[in-house]
Homo-oligomer: A and B are copies of this chain.
Amino acid sequence: MNDSTGAATRTSPVIAIDNPEDERISVFRNVRERDVVGRNGFIAEGTVVLERLLASPHFRPTCLLILKNRLAGIEPLLHSVPADVPIYIADRSVMNLIAGFPVHRGVLAHGEPAGADPGIDVALASLAVRRKTVVCLIGLANHDNMGAVFRNAAAFEAGAVLIDRSCCDPFYRKAIRVSVGQVFHIPILRFETPAEMLAALMRHGFEVLALTPRGGEAVSGFVPNGATALVLGTEGEGLSPDILERTRTARIEISPQVDSLNVATAAALVLHHIFTRKQQ
């Protein structure tokens, strides 16, 4: 491994970090603690997620922190890192001290939004015209579930994920990882309240379908007309009666012996149904 040779084969600089207190890598400092509070940008970890970040039209890396002995192995991926994005490298002990936990994957990136946000109404209008399906989350609390919803949304070509203020952060490190980096590719539309979210969907002519174990119709019989908005609620509690009263409701047929499905799994089932229906 030779840093200067490595730097010569790509345009972005490779910079060795020996001191965990180095100010240049401060965005990676104590990642675990900073995950749970507000922060600027986000931390992506692992090569698969980094690859998705580099391919994203909505986000970009600001800098990378790579384990020294992983550099050679991910050389091809690093060729697509923009020239103005520094690549910091460190050995394992320094990297763990910086991050504040054992960074098994050896690949961290700090990222931020790129490009202008078109705004909610422009985005929804475009999605409605293209008859896309959107996933609407109200009070989703678990980061694994948040990530899994994005992974499933991507698998079945949902056009956006709408979240209300009470949802957990899709850019929390674990949510990014579980999403396999799909949070960087599916537009996220943020609303203060469920009422504002539903009003915007109605305004743009979405067919709103709220999922609940006591839904009025079985999902397997649902025939989508135009753009569909699938609404999902909090783990455990589900959607509030207030929301269910104002929307068309559907249920997934499951065993009467069983209480419920995982929310991201439920999303996958409905999205798959709509996806295959639209292809018929």
Contacts and interface: CB of A to CB of B under 8 A. Distances in A.
Interface of A: 144, 148, 151-152, 154-157, 180, 182, 218, 220, 252-255, 257-259, 261-262, 264-265, 268-269, 272, 275-276, 279
Given A218-B276, A254-B275, 7 more contacts: A152-B261, A154-B257, A155-B255, A220-B276, A255-B275, A261-B268, A265-B268
In the A-B complex, list the 6 residue pairs whose CB atoms are closest, starting with the nearest: A155-B254, A157-B255, A155-B258, A220-B276, A265-B268, A154-B258
B151 A262 contact: yes
A221 to B, nearest CB: 9
Q: Give the dominant DSSP class at A's interface.
A: helix
Contacts of A180: 259
A144 B265 CA distance: 13
Nearest to A148: B262
A275 B255 CA distance: 9
A199 to B, nearest CB: 29
Contacts of A279: 253
A254 B148 contact: no
23 contacts: A148-B265, A151-B261, A152-B261, A152-B265, A154-B258, A155-B254, A155-B255, A155-B258, A155-B261, A220-B272, A253-B272, A253-B275, A253-B276, A253-B279, A254-B272, A254-B275, A255-B275, A261-B268, A264-B265, A265-B265, A268-B268, A268-B269, A269-B272
Nearest to A261: B155
A151 B157 CA distance: 26
A119 to B, nearest CB: 25
A154, A182, A258, A275: most-surrounded residue (chain B CB, <10 A): A258
Contacts of A261: 151-152, 155, 268
Contact of A156 (B155, B254, B272, B276): B254
Contacts of A152: 261, 265
A252 B265 contact: no
A120 B144 CA distance: 35
Contacts of A275: 253-255
Contacts of A155: 254-255, 258, 261
